[in-house]
């Protein structure tokens, strides 16, 4: 181990043992040092084996709501937000996954919901909660009506993946690509300015 490695080792160990920093802070400090040496000072650390004592990661007990608490939360919500929360709870969705659901992602025939590009980068199929199936059908019809009004007003396009947009330039106007839970106002696509 070289002089630089020893200094980095001592500093990172000091952070963990004396300052009791979190593992995240220690990792951030380590990455900052790597950047400093390799990108700023042009000193390579590739052949160095820095094995500092690592800060222990805390294990947290998960906080779980009771069924009664979940019911109370849902009952105290209104409209589209209530439906979103029911769907999130019924399918175990993250907020971003619920926001990204498009009409084409709901299969009412087979009672399935398709989630694409989730946090884990895995696509998955989930059973559609039958208790909210009719509510979802009503929401999809509302979105289709809203989409038609937007088209009549000269709007109505939606962001679709790059490759599909090049291959099917008119797809962004199709109802199936519309979000099930759209924004309540017209927005500008940051890529195209449209």
Query: CA 14, CA 145: separation in Å to the nearest integer?
Result: 62
From residue 131, how far is each of 134, 144, 159, 178, 180 by CA, in Å? 8, 22, 30, 23, 17
Identify whether the C-beta of residue 105 lies closer than 8 Å to the C-beta of residue 124: no
Highest mean pLDDT among 17-26, 49-58, 60-69, 107-116: 107-116
Distances (CA, A) of 111 to 10, 15, 66, 106, 137: 58, 52, 26, 8, 11
Q: What is the pTM of this model?
A: 0.67
The model's pLDDT over 36-48, given as tens digits with 9 standing for 90+, comes to 888 898 888 777 7
- Which one is predicted more confidently, 158 or 22? 158
Q: What is the pLDDT of residues 109-137, one digit of tens each?
A: 999 999 987 766 788 999 999 999 999 99
3-state SS, residue 112: strand
3-state secondary structure (DSSP) of residue 118: coil
State the span(s) of the chain assigned CATH 1.10.443.10.
67-136
Of the CA atoms within 13 Å of residue 93, those in its CB half-sphere come to: 28
Task: Domain 67-136: give its CATH code.
Answer: 1.10.443.10
Contact 80, 142 (CB under 8 A): no
Burial state string for 87-118 with b = 16 or more CB within 10 A and e = fewer than 16: bebbbebeeebbebbbbebbeeeeeebebeee
For residue 26, the tally of other CB atoms under 10 A from its CB is: 20
């Amino acid at each position: 181990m070289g002089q630089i490695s020893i200094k980095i080792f001592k500093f990172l160990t000091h952070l963990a043992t004396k300052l009791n920093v979190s593992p995240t802070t220690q990792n951030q400090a380590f990455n900052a040092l790597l950047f400093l040496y390799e990108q700023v000072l042009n000193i390579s650390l590739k052949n160095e084996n820095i094995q500092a004592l690592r800060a222990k990661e805390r294990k947290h007990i998960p906080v779980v709501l009771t069924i009664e608490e979940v019911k109370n939360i849902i009952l105290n919500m209104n409209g589209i937000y209530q439906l979103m929360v029911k769907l999130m709870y019924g399918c175990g969705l993250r907020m971003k996954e619920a926001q990204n659901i498009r009409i084409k992602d709901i299969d009412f025939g087979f009672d399935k919901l398709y989630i694409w590009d989730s946090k884990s980068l895995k696509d998955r199929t989930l059973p559609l909660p039958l208790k909210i199936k009719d509510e979802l059908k009503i929401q999809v019809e509302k979105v289709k009506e809203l989409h038609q009004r937007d088209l009549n007003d000269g709007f109505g396009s939606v962001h679709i993946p790059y490759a599909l947009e090049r291959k099917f330039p008119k797809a962004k106007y199709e109802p199936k690509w519309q979000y099930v839970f759209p924004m309540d106002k017209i927005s500008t696509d940051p890529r195209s300015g449209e």
